[in-house]
Amino acid sequence: MAQRSLKVLRREKLLCEYTGSSSVREKNFPKLSEVELMRHYYRLAQQNYSWEDGLYPLGSCTMKYNPVLGDQLAQNEIFAKLSPNLPEELSQGALALIYETEEMLARLLDMPKVTLFPAAGAHGELSGVLMIAKYFADKKEKRSVILIPDSAHGTNPASAAMAGFEVVKVGSRKDGLTDMEELGRLVGPHVAAFMLTNPNTLGIFEEQILEIKALLEKSGALLYIDGANFNALMGKVSMGAMGADLVQLNLHKSFSTPHGGGGPGQGALAVSERLLSYLPAPQIGCQEEKGHRRYYYYEPPNTIGRIKAYYGHFANILRAWAYMKSYGNRIHEVAEHAVLNANYLRKRLTNLFQLASPKPTMHEVVFDDKKLREKNTTTMQLAKALLDAGFYAPTVYFPLNVSGAIMIEPTETETKEELDAFSEAIEDFLKEEGQVSHPQYTFVKEVDEAKAARNPILSWIDASTCQQSENP
Ligand SMILES: Cc1ncc(COP(=O)(O)O)c(C=O)c1O
């Protein structure tokens, strides 16, 4: 009781600090009318850029439209009030939904098992490399190196290093594919795995995948595929047939769950037979009992253990379930439309920019800045001009192995009209004489591009003392 009133007092103290009053009741907090409050939040919302405004062509991070159906389901009272602390018997519906989503993903990947335990893509990677470490430790094989091509996503080397591996870079050929000769030289009995992003960060398919697998198999190393870009492949390829031992997916990239600022993501990790017993604990199993299914938690025998407090992010799993169920056996159309849209932009823009790779474009197209430099302008200027034209900017200056990279990912939901309008905005920018130094029509106009990263100022209010603090 005493503790509870202390909490109330603290909250009151905090409110006083905000309102500048000595007592909340005295000043009758809050002092704004509904209409003022509504306008405040509406104006804030208008300062944002979202899917409802227009094309969001960020490559690599894939900002994909989140269907209203998924959001409605996630907000459903029954689901929203479910606690992950409920015992198995009282959460059979939720466990069934997670299990079914895992099964659907495993079928799509053509892998024996998927777990939705990981929180996001990089968390799936970390779980995967921890499994690799334990697998070889149990076999008493000293394999301390993970090979990673320079076309991999940046989180791959970070995850491998966090799990205690030495990361060795494998170069790419001129066309952006893995350099097989270099890989052949680097593979050996000290190598635990090769971590390949496929499609890679140039938006192209690693077509030598079977040769890569054969090479690894000879030396006993595992093949890890970063499948975050699976929106280019779903319903079209078999990760099992490619020989993958582990594949992670990002449901917030490929399966329409909100991304980044929209809330937590959702990772998925698929494994081959030989790694099944190393999966994180618990996993969800299913048993047929007198014609009906019962779901339960179990611990795989060689598990790496618990990787976070609760299994997955349930609301996002629900959204991915709805997304897959809505498409049904037409899910391959996601990949077809995503690839078609990216190739449409490739075709429309190749006169204006130079392609980073001549290989076929998958879900995103990457250009370098050679032609921009000839016109005395930069990738950053182009990005700012696109903001002014009412679009979000593409990913810029990534991947790092492409000079002034412009990486555009339209995704599967865009119309030809929107892609044409975007291309015309780029054409207009290139026709203009003299470039603006910053956008004219956005809410925030001129930002110091380096200061936020070099000199971050974190501030917070300590609820117990009502004191504002800032890092130095
Ligand atoms: C290819 C690839 N791998 C891994 C990740 C990391 O995923 P997350 O940001 O969910 O940790 C991303 C992020 O967009 C990615 O594009």
Tens of pLDDT, residues 154-166: 999 999 999 999 9
Tens of pLDDT, residues 405-422: 999 999 999 999 999 999
| DSSP one-letter string for 300-352 | -TT-----SSSSS-HHHHHHHHHHHHHHGGGTHHHHHHHHHHHHHHHHHHTTT
Pairing of strands 292-298, 283-289: antiparallel
CB of residue 143 inside a 6 A radius of ligand 1: no
Ligand 1: centre distance to CA 467 (Å):
37
Res 436: pLDDT: 67
Tens of pLDDT, residues 256-315: 988 754 457 899 999 999 999 999 999 999 999 888 999 999 999 999 999 999 999 999
Between the alpha carbon of residue 6 and those of residues 11, 16, 315, 433, 462, the distances in Å are 9, 15, 34, 64, 15
| DSSP one-letter string for 360-420 | PP-S-EEEESHHHHHTT--HHHHHHHHHHTTSPPPEES-STTSTT-EEE---TT--HHHHH
What is the residue whose two structure tokens read 């779903």? Answer: 234
Amino acid, single-letter form, for residue 320: A
Q: Which fold has domain 332-448?
A: Aspartate Aminotransferase, domain 1 (3.90.1150)
Instruction: Tell me: cis bond preceding 30? Omega within 30 of 0 counts.
Output: yes
In 3-state terms the chain splits into helix, strand, coil percentages (rounded to 5) of 40, 15, 45
User: Which stretch of 27-36, 38-47, 223-232, 266-275 has the lowest confidence by average pLDDT?
Assistant: 27-36
Answer for the pair 284, 317: CB distance below 8 angstroms, yes or no: no
Query: In this structure, how many other beta carbons lie within 10 angstroms of the beta carbon of residue 134?
Result: 18
Res 1: pLDDT: 40
Mean pLDDT of 97-123: 97
Provide the CATH number for the domain formed by 70-330 in this structure: 3.40.640.10
Tell me which of 250, 251, 313, 366 to substitute to probe ligand 1's pocket, judged by most ligand atoms within 8 Å of the beta carbon: 250
pLDDT band at 211 (very low <50, low <70, confident <90, very high): very high
CB of residue 283 inside a 6 A radius of ligand 1: no
Give the chain's radius of gyration (CA, Å): 25
Query: Of residues 462 and 359, which shows the higher confidence score?
Result: 359
Ligand 1: centre distance to CA 158 (Å):
12
Ligand 1: centre distance to CA 190 (Å):
27
Query: In this structure, how many other beta carbons lie within 10 angstroms of the beta carbon of residue 322?
Result: 22
What is the residue whose two structure tokens read 């910053």? Answer: 438
Ligand 1: centre distance to CA 253 (Å):
8
Tens of pLDDT, residues 39-80: 999 999 888 888 889 999 999 888 889 899 999 999 999 999
Residue 26 has pLDDT above 90, yes or no: no
Answer for the pair 165, 145: CB distance below 8 angstroms, yes or no: yes
Res 2: pLDDT: 47
The whole-chain average pLDDT of the chain stands at 91
Res 260: pLDDT: 58
Query: In this structure, how many other beta carbons lie within 10 angstroms of the beta carbon of residue 184?
Result: 13
Residue 429 has pLDDT above 50, yes or no: yes
Residue 457 has pLDDT above 60, yes or no: yes
Res 63: pLDDT: 87
Q: How many CA atoms lie within 13 A of 137 on its CB side?
A: 13
- Pick the residue whose CA is nearest to atom 4 on ligand 1: 121
pLDDT band at 463 (very low <50, low <70, confident <90, very high): confident
Amino acid, single-letter form, for residue 389: A
Res 208: pLDDT: 98
Answer for the pair 311, 101: CB distance below 8 angstroms, yes or no: no
Query: Of residues 198 and 19, which shows the higher confidence score?
Result: 198
- C-alpha to C-alpha distance for 225 and 244, rounded to whole angstroms: 6
* Long-range own/partner contacts, residues 465-472 (CB < 8 A, 24 or more apart): 466/13, 466/14, 466/16, 466/17
Query: Of residues 383 and 455, which shows the higher confidence score?
Result: 383
CB of residue 155 inside a 6 A radius of ligand 1: yes
DSSP-derived 3-state class of residue 67:
coil
Q: Where are the domains of the chain?
A: 9-35, 70-330, 332-448
Q: What is the pTM of this model?
A: 0.89
- C-alpha to C-alpha distance for 63 and 435, rounded to whole angstroms: 28
Res 261: pLDDT: 46
- C-alpha to C-alpha distance for 10 and 306, rounded to whole angstroms: 35
- C-alpha to C-alpha distance for 217 and 410, rounded to whole angstroms: 37
In this structure, what is the dihedral angle of CA atoms 269, 270, 275, 278, given to the nearest 10 degrees?
Answer: 30
